[in-house]
Structure 1
Amino acid sequence: MSESELYLSITPVKVSEIPSEEAIIKAGKQILESTMSWKQGKTYQHNKVKTFSRSKGPKDGAGWYCRVSEHTKEDATFDELWSKLGENKAENEMQFIPEIKTVTLIERISPTQTIWSLEYHFPPPISPRIFTVLHTAVLSTESPRTGIIVSIPVDVSENAEYVKKEAKGAKGRYVAVERLRELEDGKVEWRMATSSTPGGSIPQFIAESSMASTISRDVTHFLEWLHKNRGKEQTSTSGDAAA
């Protein structure tokens, strides 16, 4: 399959076959554009988070789910959102997504591309799941600013050094596309689309039955974490300077 035909799904790509950054971002934009016609589902968090879905297609390994929320500067500025989601994404997610227990950097390919292994813990009897993904994050500073983060599943089995770094456990897979976009009214739209499977013996329909509510809660978790830590970095920097 040529890069011009790249289609995002939960099928992992081998490290030796990782597509170009341009191809990944192009495929991510196509997914985002398609969400405009997806079936609307429930709204969550006092009607602030809208959800949408698309049934599994012939090229998909699972159904797709999307959430959209708009944020004022009091919620989170564009710079705040990008600094936490577009930079050091896995490490930051571990701070506000309760299910993520460990993250390991496997390879920093470039300033905009990194491979991570994330360990998720779920309520018993589900055993921990390992998700190994490539994060590609690109920021456009043209007005209105837009940032896109694409996460695709990666198979690192052909690289012994990568295998050593990868967390051990049952493997799940997910693909996700996120876009941060400045709006004319000063707000920021945060749009995220994802498809996933926990792997193991968990029926896919059970995993997907709670997907909309799960991804909507991530918005609340993020904002609570952000607000709790607002100003701490500046305070720490100021303290270091004074010392």
Structure 2
Amino acid sequence: MPNERLRAVMAAGGWTYEALAAKTEVDPKSVERWVNLNRVPRRTTALRAAEILGEDVHALWPAIRQPRKARGVSPDLEALYTQRADLPVSVFIDLFQQARRRIDVLVYAAVFLHEAYPKLNTLLTERAEEGCTVRIAVGDADSPNVQQRGQEERYGHGIDSRCRLALMHYQPLANTSGIELRTHGTTLYNSLYRADDQMLVNTHMWGVNAYAAPVWHLRRSAEGGMFDTYAASFDAVWDTARPVEG
């Protein structure tokens, strides 16, 4: 019996066996078996495939067991990484590429994205052209809070210069339809990278640079949960931020 749900999702996204196999690092024949014979991949492979397809893994393969979580742990918590440096930049890029409705970025600088993926502006422009709303908030280099963060993270004047560099990277997008660029001067407790109902939250810690701080991968599971709390936090900062003109 074929996996009709998987077949429909792949067809809607224009995915071939070969393309999905390349992304999930398996043989195309394995993908063909997932579809036509309803074979269930290994859990890690299934999670990767579901994320690529923008679907819930348990909707595609109900046989995959939901991992048990400790009492009190948010159902929105998909994964927890010890530090941002543990995540390849491809994780952030893949997240943005999957977005169909909304992309939100709240950072001070996060220039690692442009440094590792120079085509980021092109990706964001393409998403906007497809109807995705893109909002980007970077740090105001002249803000006392930004300069204070530099001292706390032992950057000195480095963090404000990186904020200026980030703004230079994003500046060409300022007049792009569907994309808004703003600067903010808030105390940044977390850097947020949202794509539709998924979000990477890079927590910040006193005296620790962002790349060495933990990252939470959230997936919205219900109204009013952990995901919505961070989404509301983004909106609150956005309302205080100043628009950047092109």
Normalised by the shorter chain, which TM-score bucket?
Answer: under 0.3
**Hey, which of these two has a bigger chunk of strand by percent?**
1
Q: Which of the pair has more CA radius of gyration?
A: 2
**Hey, which of these two has a bigger chunk of helix by percent?**
2
Structure with larger RCO (C-alpha < 8 A, sep 6+): 1
TM-score (norm 2): 0.26
